[in-house]
Chain A
Amino acid sequence: MSEELRVKTMEEFVAQGAQPEILFWVGSAGSYDDRAKKISRAFVKILNKANVDFAVLGAEESCTGDVAKRAGNEFLFQMQAMMNIEVLNAYEIKRIVTCDPHSFNTLKNEYPSLGGTYDVVHHTEFIKELMDKGKLSLEGSVYKEKRITFHDPCYLGRANSVYEAPRDILKKTNATIVEMKRHKKTALCCGAGGAQMFKEPEKGDMDINVLRTKDALETNPSIIATGCPYCNTMMTDGIKAHEKEDSVTVLDVAELIANSI
């Protein structure tokens, strides 16, 4: 992407004596993972287009500790949480948006009892909000002929009951939205959660992402949409395992929207 993105850090805001309306929590995947970085960029393109006054923490952001907590390392999680909370509270952050359902869940549900209470939204909820307020409108033709199926990330769906926002904004692309047999509450995990992303799976007769991709392929989609950088990696690998990378692509909801504005 050669397009110039406008991204300001909290530090810069403070230097100008200003406060952004929302903080974009990029997350470790969104900052370092090659695939997820594209999602961060796509989301910023949307924020820029809608003229959202947002900031990032940049080098002051650190891992939420989510993955350490799921792995059982409560110590490391709370260390990370308290350091992040110190930064967030010092900047008097009120509202946070993130493209990662794991950061979303942890910031929203697990930080408050440690002293960090914020209004946390997932990027699909925020995009929907921008659309509802009339700040963002789509061309609506790019994906018109496409069939899109949405894979519910566990930590967005089951964990926090956000099912409609991603679907609502996908409908705006005018693509045909098809549901997998197991979706929403009964959606199958992509296999990355609970720190599985960072280790080899236990012995079994199949990988979870291959099974989940099979669910998706049964809907005969041209695009598998997700709202999580880890799901994205898992589903992309799954597509390769099924040798469908020529006919099916995996895209984040933010990318679909960014390509439609």
Chain B
Amino acid sequence: MQYLPNIIFAIALVFGIGFFSKNVKKLSRNIKLGRDVTVDDNKAQRWKNMAKIALGQTKMVVRPIAGLLHIIVYIGFVIINIEVLEIIIDGLLGTHRIFAFLGSLYDVLIGSFEILAFLVIVAVVVFWIRRNAIRLQRFIKPEMEGWPKKDGNLILYIEVVLMFLFLTMNAADFQLQQLGAAHYQQAGAFPISQYIAPLFEGMNIDSLVLLERSAWWLHILGILFFLNYLYYSKHLHILLAFPNTYYGRLRPQGQFNNLEAVTNEVKLMLDPSADPFAAPAEDVGEPEKFGASDVMDLNWVQLLNAYTCTECGRCTSECPANQTGKKLSPRKIMMDTRDRLEEVGKNMDANKGVFVPDGKQLLDDYITKEELWACTTCNACVQACPVSIDPLSIIVEMRRYLVMEQSAAPTELNNMMSNIENNGAPWPYNQMDRLNWVNE
């Protein structure tokens, strides 16, 4: 019976990590539903971008207040994970504070974890105030209603609870160490929890052990829960920011890709020796669809972008269309893409891994034409994203579908395009008059 806690712990760990892995597989399958695109150029620059943007948080500090608070929470979570390592070893082996042999280094570690935990609590409280009391514009846009708003707050609550459990566990431990309880050797420094400990004064050793054990268990179970919460939340960015910044664009922002399928057709059209009546070669498959009307038409980097988005709304707050009251919100483009992709994934789960057409698509059912046509392609959203997401590429891909597959551009744009076709300028002027400006 004495091994019961170890066994329960091992089971919890296996379940927690197992379930998460299952969802990671789903995530990876969904991302791979996107069109293939090769991203293997300039690896050195890509690693550098990942180090700078994801690890180094360089684009977060463009907005200093949010950036600084975010760095606190980020460092807090990365560092406190060293403590989680100890907890896991202790849980499996039935030991207590196995790293205590590190002596004064251990004191420094535990002490800094505590200070970080305290700072995380402060940062999270400020985050909550920004979202719920000050109600910053970007957090109360229409696309944030309902689940996205709850999700944002839930993450903050979980983080505060985890930090409090950690500090409570330490405070009870500290108290037990003072009382010289068995198994609770003198170890660690408690710069923060020493101020919580007085609350437990007068409690006997049994109650303190119960308190310490409860906090310890709830803390690690909470972490396992949080790990599994990620897949259902915008919080996935803590993992995906790394691959996303690696695969992020290196080309100048103004450079849009040239569709290869179009290039082949245009070359054929301009080739004077091509026989327009020639029978197509035998193995010609279905002609490639131009642009995107659904998530499967986007490439996998764009789908990875969608899962990485943490809905911070910096893109939307920089968007000229959004600032002037248009419906377009680059953040909503990313959220819609993820929602639709999840819907497609669930459809596949329910149909033995095969997608059964559901009469819905990303275009119209999620993203409207009005949103797509409001974009000025100014790249402010791309510039603003702290994790290298490119909402503009999705907007352009969907415009391509509207124009090339559906001929559904606004009338004025159709006029402009037929002018280009007829006289090589977006206005109806004679090409022979191109040089008239010299003598006017």
Contact = CB atoms under 8 A, between A and B. Distances in A.
B254 A195 contact: no
A7 B434 CA distance: 13
Nearest to A207: B324
User: For this complex, into which size category does the number of interface residues on chain B fall?
Assistant: 35 or more
A14 interface: no
A32 B425 contact: yes
A72 B325 contact: no
A67 interface: yes
Contact of A208 (B254, B321, B415, B417): B321
A65 to B, nearest CB: 7
Interface in A68-109: 68-76, 78-80, 82-83, 105, 109
Nearest to B415: A198
Contact of B396 (A67, A72, A160, A202): A72
Interface string A23-61: 000101011110001001100100000000000111101
A204 B255 contact: no
Contacts of B379: 154, 158-159
Contacts of A37: 437, 440
A138 B417 CA distance: 41
A137 interface: no
User: For this complex, into which size category does the number of interface residues on chain A fall?
Assistant: 35 or more
B193 to A, nearest CB: 43
Interface in A157-195: 158-161, 185-186, 188-189, 191-195
Nearest to B261: A74
Nearest to B322: A204
Contacts of B255: 105, 109-110, 159
A56 B376 CA distance: 29
B434 A61 contact: yes
Given A74-B259, A105-B254, A109-B251, A195 B321 contact: no
A201 B258 contact: no
Contacts of B409: 71-73
Contact of A82 (B270, B318, B415, B416): B270
B403 A208 contact: no
- For B291, B427, B435, B437, the residue with the greatest tally of chain A CB atoms inside 10 Å of its CB is B437
Interface in B254-275: 254-256, 258-259, 262-263, 265-267, 269-270
Contact of B424 (A80, A105, A159): A80
Contacts, number: 217
A63 B425 CA distance: 5
A155 interface: yes
Contact of A110 (B258, B269, B432, B437): B258
A45 to B, nearest CB: 11
Contacts of A201: 324, 326, 374
B417 A211 contact: no
Nearest to B419: A63
B340 interface: no
Contacts of A114: 258, 263
A16 interface: no
Contact of B437 (A41, A62, A212): A41
B425 A193 contact: no
A203 B328 CA distance: 10
Contacts of B434: 26, 31-32, 57-59, 61
Interface string B292-323: 00000000000000000000000000101101
A33 B379 CA distance: 26
Interface of A: 1, 5, 7, 9, 26, 28, 30-33, 37, 40-41, 44, 56-59, 61-63, 65, 67-76, 78-80, 82-83, 105, 109-110, 113-114, 154-155, 158-161, 185-186, 188-189, 191-208, 211-212
Given A159-B254, A189-B380, A193-B376, 15 more contacts: A28-B424, A59-B432, A72-B398, A74-B259, A105-B252, A154-B377, A154-B379, A158-B378, A186-B383, A201-B324, A201-B374, A202-B374, A203-B326, A208-B376, A212-B320
5 contacts: A110-B255, A195-B416, A201-B374, A202-B373, A212-B320
Closest 5 pairs (CB-CB, A-B): A159-B254, A72-B399, A194-B377, A62-B424, A205-B325
